[in-house]
Amino acid sequence: GEQVEQLPSILRVQEGSSASINCTYENSASNYFPWYKQEPGENPKLIIDIRSNMERKQTQGLIVLLDKKAKRFSLHITDTQPGDSAMYFCAARDSGYNKLTFGKGTVLLVSP
Residues that bind another protein (CB under 8 A): 1, 31-32, 34, 42-46, 49, 51, 89, 93, 95, 97-105
In terms of CB distance, is 56 or 104 closer to another protein? 104
Could you tell me the smallest distance in angstroms from the CB atom of residue 1 to another protein? 7
Task: Determine how β-strand 106-111 pairs with β-strand 10-14.
Answer: parallel
Classified as helix, coil or strand, 84 is: helix
How far is it, in rounded angstroms, from Cα 86 to Cα 84? 6
Could you tell me the smallest distance in angstroms from the CB atom of residue 83 to another protein? 20
Could you tell me the smallest distance in angstroms from the CB atom of residue 24 to another protein? 15
Closest listed residue to residue 32, CA positions, set 50, 46, 5: 50
